[in-house]
A and B are shown apart, each in its own frame.
Chain A
């Protein structure tokens, strides 16, 4: 059997896929790749359906395959080399048998993805292969792990794409949620006016945001009945710092919610590294539906083109290398 061997793994490396919808009533949230767009981009670069990928949180690792295979690198840009020679990010490449693939720290954003041609041939647990750490499904990958590879029927490599910029924070579009109307008007006004910094506390369940000014909250917040949670919900816990939930969130919760980030902006939430600046903007349902349509069309029609290997034609790669501030991943495990 063909294998991808993990020689060294960053602190938050897991196998991910599209998650497990359908188990909410039994307390299991859908989970799956934190950045769904990056998962789809990896598949598009290999011209295959969305399957599994390695999700690398903040830092990659070193990898080696015992057969020639194809790889795609997407999501948060990371420094990657093949036997010491730089590899373009947002691109597909041939990985020769025995070659040393090294992926370093994220230059912007949080989650990088390593997709293999054919994906991983791992057994399904509850109809999916993704690790759901909070539920005890799967686990963090570590040095010495060998992941079986599924047969790859594709041949093409050397493709690239222009990713949607989502790695440096920005404006998140928000719909009202159950308790939005219970927050005082001045607090809601402040919520859309001020900037929030992504706190160091955050993981696949969600990220904590630090307000510029005082905290948020409801005086009657303690008496709210526990209710269903959806990814994107912005909970206000007792400490007043908003918490934006991601796909691996709990299934129910009792903290008041000031709003819900729309699905199209969840990749931007997941990819906001500690310190990144985020803002909120309430949108109408029509605007959210339009954004959802555009997001899905984007997922289905990711434009790929040949990767030209002349360094003069790789301005994005060069710009990444000019930017300092490699993110440490220790907060993410």
Chain B
């Protein structure tokens, strides 16, 4: 096999019989994520006939289509043409994005691995908490479970590996960190990432008018609040989260 150089991106690849991805890079980077979000928004404004669903992952725009109506060749040619129309890596992010401030309790029982994560990042727990709570991060993708965001990019020092083992279960609302990203868990699940805090943010409420709190492209700050705030946050249907539109 050959390893393709980065200059081969963006590239178009089929996913099964009825899907295609436009992949903007071999690994997560800010420009690749920006391109995926911007390209999705552009295609969504004027979707080719036969496309049934559009979404993004960390570095790709995904299109699901009816392969008996629209051929892979025709769709690929259409996408190729759109790719040349703009510098997607430098494109403005889609409109309608928001800034969410999510109150977070760091350390202690709410973030049992804050000390360990701080050590891996080469700083004290206090500095770690300050850096993490001041970072303004983007929802790079929502995936794995409903409403569950992958957020980045954290400062260089946070390029820490996953743990070698798995934490058998982190609670719903757990804020975990690894490889310059946060994940905020929408369900209780096992994870290889380290839990540094916990929020009461309602990421997925199927019974609500607005079931999904976050959308790809939104920006988030995980503000530090004291542990005493937990009862108040968990009683609040919004978990203390504030939302403001981004210009």
A interface list, Cβ under 8 A from B? 21-28, 125-126, 134-137, 175, 177-178, 181-182, 223, 225-228, 230-233, 250-253, 260, 262-263, 285, 288-289, 292-293, 296
Q: Tell me how many residues of B have a C-beta within 8 Å of chain A.
A: 47
With A178-B13, A263-B17 in contact, is A293–B28 under 8 Å at CB?
Answer: no
Tell me how far the C-beta of A289 lies from the nearest C-beta in chain B, rounded to whole angstroms.
Answer: 6
Q: Which residues of A contact B54 (CB under 8 A)?
A: 25
Docked-complex contact A135 and B58, CB < 8 angstroms: no
Docked-complex contact B147 and A27, CB < 8 angstroms: yes
Choice from A225, A252, A285 contacting B28 with Cβ under 8 Å? A225
Tell me how far the C-beta of B21 lies from the nearest C-beta in chain A, rounded to whole angstroms.
Answer: 6
What 6 additional pairs, Cβ within 8 angstroms, besides A27-B143, A227-B60, A233-B15? Answer: A25-B54, A27-B186, A182-B1, A230-B19, A262-B16, A288-B17
Docked-complex contact A250 and B206, CB < 8 angstroms: no
B interface list, Cβ under 8 A from A? 1, 13-19, 21, 23, 25-28, 40, 52-60, 62, 64, 67-68, 72, 141-148, 150, 186-187, 204, 206-207, 211-212, 215-216
> Which of the listed residues A26, A231, A253, A260 has the most CB atoms from chain B within 10 Å of its own CB?
A26
Docked-complex contact A126 and B206, CB < 8 angstroms: yes
Q: Which residues of A contact B211 (CB under 8 A)?
A: 126
Name 13 interchain pairs, CB-CB below 8 A, sorted by A: A22-B53, A24-B64, A25-B55, A27-B142, A27-B186, A126-B211, A178-B13, A178-B15, A223-B27, A230-B64, A232-B16, A252-B143, A260-B16
Q: Which residues of B contact A178 (CB under 8 A)?
A: 13, 15
With A27-B186, A228-B62 in contact, is A292–B68 under 8 Å at CB?
Answer: yes
Docked-complex contact A225 and B16, CB < 8 angstroms: no
Docked-complex contact B16 and A292, CB < 8 angstroms: no
Docked-complex contact A228 and B148, CB < 8 angstroms: no
Docked-complex contact B146 and A135, CB < 8 angstroms: yes
Q: Which residues of A contact B64 (CB under 8 A)?
A: 21, 24, 230
Tell me how far the C-beta of B52 lies from the nearest C-beta in chain A, rounded to whole angstroms.
Answer: 7
B73: nearest chain-A partner, CB-CB:
A285
Docked-complex contact A27 and B148, CB < 8 angstroms: yes
A227: nearest chain-B partner, CB-CB:
B57
With A125-B207, A137-B206, A175-B17 in contact, is A24–B146 under 8 Å at CB?
Answer: no
Q: Which residues of A contact B27 (CB under 8 A)?
A: 223, 225
Choice from A136, A251, A289 contacting B144 with Cβ under 8 Å? A251
Tell me how far the C-beta of B19 lies from the nearest C-beta in chain A, rounded to whole angstroms.
Answer: 5
Docked-complex contact A26 and B142, CB < 8 angstroms: yes
Docked-complex contact A292 and B17, CB < 8 angstroms: yes
Docked-complex contact A27 and B146, CB < 8 angstroms: yes
Docked-complex contact A25 and B56, CB < 8 angstroms: yes
Tell me how far the C-beta of A259 lies from the nearest C-beta in chain B, rounded to whole angstroms.
Answer: 9
Choice from A181, A228, A253, A262 contacting B55 with Cβ under 8 Å? A228
Docked-complex contact A252 and B187, CB < 8 angstroms: no
- 5 nearest A-B residue pairs (beta carbon): A25-B55, A252-B143, A230-B16, A260-B16, A24-B55
With A26-B212, A228-B15 in contact, is A250–B207 under 8 Å at CB?
Answer: no
Majority DSSP secondary structure for residues of B touching A? loop
B212: nearest chain-A partner, CB-CB:
A26
Q: Which residues of A contact B60 (CB under 8 A)?
A: 227-228
Q: Which residues of A contact B56 (CB under 8 A)?
A: 25
Docked-complex contact B142 and A25, CB < 8 angstroms: yes
Q: Which residues of A contact B40 (CB under 8 A)?
A: 25
Q: Which residues of B contact A252 (CB under 8 A)?
A: 57-58, 141, 143-144
> Which of the listed residues A223, A225, A285, A293 has the most CB atoms from chain B within 10 Å of its own CB?
A225
Q: Which residues of A contact B13 (CB under 8 A)?
A: 178
The distance in angstroms between the C-alpha atoms of A182 and B13, with both chains bound, is 14
Docked-complex contact B17 and A260, CB < 8 angstroms: yes
Docked-complex contact B187 and A136, CB < 8 angstroms: yes
Q: Which residues of A contact B62 (CB under 8 A)?
A: 24, 228
Q: Which residues of A contact B52 (CB under 8 A)?
A: 21
Tell me how far the C-beta of A132 lies from the nearest C-beta in chain B, rounded to whole angstroms.
Answer: 8
Docked-complex contact A26 and B146, CB < 8 angstroms: yes
Q: Which residues of B contact A24 (CB under 8 A)?
A: 53, 55, 62, 64
Q: Which residues of A contact B144 (CB under 8 A)?
A: 27, 250-253
Tell me how far the C-beta of A270 lies from the nearest C-beta in chain B, rounded to whole angstroms.
Answer: 16
Q: Which residues of B contact A262 (CB under 8 A)?
A: 16-17
Tell me how far the C-beta of B189 lies from the nearest C-beta in chain A, rounded to whole angstroms.
Answer: 10
Docked-complex contact B68 and A296, CB < 8 angstroms: yes
Docked-complex contact A25 and B68, CB < 8 angstroms: no
B207: nearest chain-A partner, CB-CB:
A125
The distance in angstroms between the C-alpha atoms of A223 and B26, with both chains bound, is 10
Q: Which residues of B contact A28 (CB under 8 A)?
A: 146-147
Q: Which residues of A contact B26 (CB under 8 A)?
A: 225
The distance in angstroms between the C-alpha atoms of A175 and B17, with both chains bound, is 7
B71: nearest chain-A partner, CB-CB:
A289
With A126-B211, A260-B16 in contact, is A21–B53 under 8 Å at CB?
Answer: yes
B44: nearest chain-A partner, CB-CB:
A25
B141: nearest chain-A partner, CB-CB:
A252
A293: nearest chain-B partner, CB-CB:
B68
Tell me how far the C-beta of A18 lies from the nearest C-beta in chain B, rounded to whole angstroms.
Answer: 13
Docked-complex contact B143 and A226, CB < 8 angstroms: yes
Docked-complex contact B55 and A292, CB < 8 angstroms: no
